[in-house]
Structure 1
Amino acid sequence: MKRWLSLFSVVVLGLLLTACGSSDSASGNSNGDKIVIGYFPNINHVAGMVAEEKELYEKTLPDGTEVEYKYFPDGSAFMTALETGEIQGGLVGPGPAMNHYMSGAEINIVAAGSTGGTVIMARNGSGIDSPEQLKNTTFASPRVGCTHDVQFEALMMREYGLKSDRLKGEMKHVTGKPATYSQLFASKRIDVATVPEPWASKIEEEGHGKVLIDTDEVAFGETLPAAVFVTSKELVENDSELVQNMVDAHKEATTFIQDNPEEAKEIAANKIKDITDQELSKSVIDSSWERIDFTYNVKLEDLQSFANASYELEFLKEKPDLKGLVDTTFIEE
């Protein structure tokens, strides 16, 4: 079983973007236009880091295209940037992409970035040894309704009949950045957390928490993309060649990760340190990597199942229909 990682308090459950900005910023022809790619500084987004380090977009985009990268702390900030044309595409959690699509945003998911990486952990010393013991406990997720929150709450409700206080249930919900969970465990402010990598491995290394439910048993843990590559539907319709250029670079980055895991780990560790000023040990990187599968393949049915769970948990007001969200044209051989 492979594991995945997410570094920053992110992957949120608000979906993604409307049309990309002006035709000047998105045309991507050879007249010196600029393309901005966005991603998060976490291990689920290593494809973005590898593409930047190896200058893969510079190789696939038309000559004369200036390439810049912008880093985001959460899905909401990414979606706003995509909607306003500040970026032309990049990696974001599936939750924000789906929610924004359901709200009318004209976007397309054109590839996946990775799967896995969500772990449910219990505080050491809490006396919690099984999910059945989570009644009347306090759990943390990065944000209300984010991807990791839905994975946790869907599992609790479906398998153990437990709900958060948001649904008048038996578990108290608080939010916070995953990077702070180790301290929250140490100070006994939370009992349980739904933790994206690399923070699960870091908590284990520091001895403040233990894995209660691993990636393969978390809801949608092995099938749901932890990151998806998104762009505007306007760009897909008006400049499909440019979108193909971007997806080709993303596919090349993903293949590089699969073929060169040790070099990709080094790139990830260095990039994360540069962006966040936080250094991860090799053991944390290695452990996180085992929970993640890097792939650009994406299936609409996997996203639809997740969206249905979001509706079941009342994060979405209307029953979701994601038809038209995913366009696999650009990843097909």
Structure 2
Amino acid sequence: MKKWLSLLSVIVLGLILTACGTSESASGSKGKNDKIVIGYFPNINHVAGMVAEEKELYEQTLPDGTEVEYKYFPDGSAFMTAIETGEIQGGLVGPGPAMNHYMSGAEINIVAAGSTGGTVIMARDGSGIESPEQLQDSTFVSPRVGCTHDVQFEALMMREYDLKSDRLNGEMKHVTGKPATYSQLFASNRIDAAAVPEPWASKIEEEGHGKVLVEGDDVAFNDTLPAAVFVTSSELKENDPELVQNMVDAHKEATTFIQDNPEEAKEIAIKKIKDITEQELSASVIDSAWERIDFTYEVKLEDLEAFAAASFELEFLKEHPDLEGLVDTTFIEE
């Protein structure tokens, strides 16, 4: 009887150990990932995501058999929530949402950049506004309150022209809206000015509904701040650094492809933006937008810190920002 009980104990123990092993493998606790989801936005600053998808670059750098999916986001808040919940494993987002969520306690890391530039300050055609000094008492639009483009606009106005939004008891009225609708907002006289990310600035120019007030290096942080950054979770970075390296390698290859093959990259951008937004942009719009953007995966903490300090100065942040630990450049240095 004792022998039978002893044998039964061994069998039960073996089943328990087997079950534990199966559970660990399925949960990916050893860094095993059968599927990776990459996120990005359908705009020009995120062309690296489009090229990587079209050229299947993640499939080439990730372990054989890894399924790769893509998810497209309308704004940074939705993207960051997806990173924090594990819905996506990495991808491109604006630096503003990444920093804001990090300072709110999100365990995430910026491991590369995507591009710089691409923000244009524009005025409605027929508004009578010929220079930034004339924006007093105007209504301006940005994608979201405190987003990257909003901070760029308000920092420029406050520092260079002593103008403030109504949020700070200033003269300019602030509204929000999707950049793809700005041309219509100009055409209907609903706004006077806008902080516009490409390619929508070039689209407004082509349609004749607005004109450029400030562009290039004259826009706050346009020449230094990454307009898009590659983000992943700190947990994934710590538990599976090899996987994160695989993802960053694919992103770097996509960025290099854009630099070496701009015309083909433009064609990919036109196709992907149409697929995602159902809006087909002309080659001339893409050409114009391209001239205002620099595609790079290099990222520096000090550039992000300067931008975060401006966000605090503009009272988008309640506390002085501490970004120590946010940026990890080891993966782009490999």
TM-score calculated relative to the size of structure 2: 0.91
* Corresponding residue number in structure 1 for 2:305: 304
* Corresponding residue number in structure 2 for 1:8: none
Q: CA deviation at 1:215?
A: 2.4
Which residue type is aligned with residue 271 of structure 1?
K
Matched residues in 1 for 2:187 and 2:29: separation?
47
Matched residues in 2 for 1:239 and 1:126: separation?
54
Matched residues in 2 for 1:323 and 1:191: separation?
39
* Corresponding residue number in structure 1 for 2:149: 148
* Corresponding residue number in structure 1 for 2:27: 24
TM-score calculated relative to the size of structure 1: 0.91
Which residue type is aligned with residue 264 of structure 2?
E
Matched residues in 1 for 2:78 and 2:29: separation?
19
Matched residues in 1 for 2:31 and 2:258: separation?
26
Matched residues in 2 for 1:314 and 1:246: separation?
35
1:120-159 superposed matches below 5 A = 120-159=121-160
Indicate conservation of the 8 Å contact 1:28/1:34, yes or no.
no
Matched residues in 2 for 1:24 and 1:63: separation?
19
* Corresponding residue number in structure 1 for 2:175: 174
- Identity, % of aligned positions: 87
Aligned to 1:327, what secondary structure does the other structure show? coil
* Corresponding residue number in structure 1 for 2:48: 47
Q: CA deviation at 1:187?
A: 1.2
Matched, 1:191 2:192: yes
Which structure: larger Rg? 2
* Corresponding residue number in structure 2 for 1:100: 101
Q: CA deviation at 1:329?
A: 0.1
The number of aligned residues is: 310
Closer, same or farther in 2 for the Cα pair 1:164/1:62, shift >3 Å?
same
Matched residues in 2 for 1:26 and 1:139: separation?
48
Aligned to 1:133, what secondary structure does the other structure show? helix
Matched residues in 1 for 2:224 and 2:198: separation?
16
* Corresponding residue number in structure 1 for 2:12: none
Q: Give unmatched runs, 5+ long, in structure 2.
A: 1-24
1:78-89 superposed matches below 5 A = 78-89=79-90
1:1-333 superposed matches below 5 A = 24=27, 29=32, 33-333=34-334
Q: CA deviation at 1:24?
A: 3.1
Q: Give unmatched runs, 5+ long, in structure 1.
A: 1-21
Matched residues in 2 for 1:281 and 1:261: separation?
15
Kindly report the root-mean-square deviation, in angstroms, between the aligned alpha carbons of the 2 structures: 1.3
Which residue type is aligned with residue 24 of structure 1?
S
Q: CA deviation at 1:80?
A: 1.0
Aligned to 1:328, what secondary structure does the other structure show? coil
Aligned to 1:46, what secondary structure does the other structure show? helix
Indicate conservation of the 8 Å contact 1:91/1:230, yes or no.
yes
Matched residues in 2 for 1:23 and 1:289: separation?
43
Closer, same or farther in 2 for the Cα pair 1:244/1:102, shift >3 Å?
same
Closer, same or farther in 2 for the Cα pair 1:123/1:252, shift >3 Å?
same
* Corresponding residue number in structure 1 for 2:6: none
Indicate conservation of the 8 Å contact 1:28/1:62, yes or no.
no
Aligned to 2:330, what secondary structure does the other structure show? helix
Indicate conservation of the 8 Å contact 1:112/1:227, yes or no.
yes
Aligned to 2:140, what secondary structure does the other structure show? strand
Which residue type is aligned with residue 288 of structure 1?
A
Aligned to 1:320, what secondary structure does the other structure show? coil
Q: CA deviation at 1:180?
A: 1.0
Q: CA deviation at 1:64?
A: 1.5
1:64-114 C-alpha deviation (Å, 9 max, x unpaired)? 211111111110111111111110000000000000000011110000000
Aligned to 1:265, what secondary structure does the other structure show? helix
Closer, same or farther in 2 for the Cα pair 1:204/1:256, shift >3 Å?
same
Matched residues in 2 for 1:185 and 1:153: separation?
20
Indicate conservation of the 8 Å contact 2:121/2:194, yes or no.
yes
Indicate conservation of the 8 Å contact 1:28/1:35, yes or no.
no
Closer, same or farther in 2 for the Cα pair 1:287/1:138, shift >3 Å?
same
Aligned to 1:50, what secondary structure does the other structure show? helix
